[in-house]
Amino acid sequence: MHSSEPLIASLTSVQARIAQAARQAQRDPQSVHLLAVSKRQSAQAIRALYQASCQVSAQPIIAFGENYVQEALAKQAELQDLPLEWHFIGPIQSNKTREIAQHFTWVHSVDRLKVLKGLAQAARTHAKSLQICLQVNISAEASKSGCAPEEVATLVEAAQAYQDVLCLRGLMCIPAPSTDREIQAQAFARLANLQHQLQQAYSHWPWDTLSMGMSSDLEAAILQGSTWVRIGTALFGARDA
């Protein structure tokens, strides 16, 4: 069980960091959304964070990010009484696109044509719309998911055929880890610049979302324009791998 006091302290700290970074970037703190990364956390921990957020804010935390489909579905079933919004943020197996489309509102990690098509077909089957981001392997790491920057336009072109069920909101990245704030900023700036280029070429999409920044680098991400920071450890504490 998670007691409320540590969660309230963690949440207050994260919100203060977001607000400070936004002010430094001369942005409205409300323009940066907090996505609580709840993979490997229990349904009870999610409920506790939601309840803690209700105590400290008029806008409770409702957005939760999950990486593993079956784990997420079990938690969703247990938390049906809460007004939560579920985001899929992990690598996508093509045979999981049906369940992801059915049970999530946002998908941040679309990185190849087969996944794009599978999500669209499943969304049509379930008569729903999905908010999506394209994941870019901005640091060219062999171990990371995400398409190469030069491949993004091909995915954007393909998404044109699915505008009835897919709304392309922007880009997502997980840069190579670094404690150097300048290196962090350079990676996020590359993603922001890529999105700006795509916005010029494909202006009919919203391009209002940059999903970037985690517990260790949210400040650098916000300074470069992040609109969703994906925070796990700084909220829940360290978790099992």
Please report, for the domain that includes residue 83, its CATH number: 3.20.20.10
Q: pLDDT class for 143, splitting at 50, 70, 90?
A: confident
Q: What is the 3-state secondary structure (H, E, C) of 17-36?
A: HHHHHHHHCCCCHHHCEEEE
pLDDT in tens, 180-222: 999 999 999 999 999 999 999 999 999 999 999 999 999 999 9
pLDDT digits (tens, 9 = 90+) for 85-100: 999 999 999 999 999 9
Residue-level pLDDT at 3: 61
Q: By the 8 A CB rule, do 223 and 25 touch?
A: yes
Which helix (H) or strand (E) segment is 160 a member of?
none
The CB density around residue 27, as the number of other CB atoms within 10 Å, is 17
**pLDDT value of position 238:** 80
Q: Quick one: what percent of the chain has pLDDT higher than 70?
A: 98
pLDDT at res. 1: 44
Structural domain total, the chain: 1
User: Helix, strand, coil proportions of the chain in percent (round to 5)?
Assistant: 50, 15, 35
The yes-or-no verdict on residue 57 having pLDDT over 80 is yes
| 46-59 CB burial, b ≥16 within 10 A, e <16 | bbbbbbbbeeeeee
pLDDT value at 81 more than 80: yes
Average pLDDT over residues 24-28: 97
Q: Are 109 and 145 in contact (CB under 8 A)?
A: yes
pLDDT score at 241: 46
Chain mean pLDDT for the chain: 96
Domain that holds residue 128: 4-236
Predicted model pTM: 0.96
Residue 140 has pLDDT above 50, yes or no: yes
In a domain, 9, yes or no: yes
Q: What is the pLDDT of residue 207?
A: 98
Q: What is the mean pLDDT of residues 164-178?
A: 97
Residue 241 included in any domain:
no
pLDDT of amino acid 2: 52
Name the E strands within 46-149: 63-66, 85-88, 106-110, 130-136
Give the type of residue at 139: S
**Is residue 93, in this structure, part of any structural domain at all?**
yes
- Phi then psi for residue 136, to 5 deg, are -115, 130
First to last CA, the chain: 19
In-domain check, residue 181: yes
CB 32 within 8 A of CB 22: yes
Task: Identify whether 172 is part of a domain.
Answer: yes
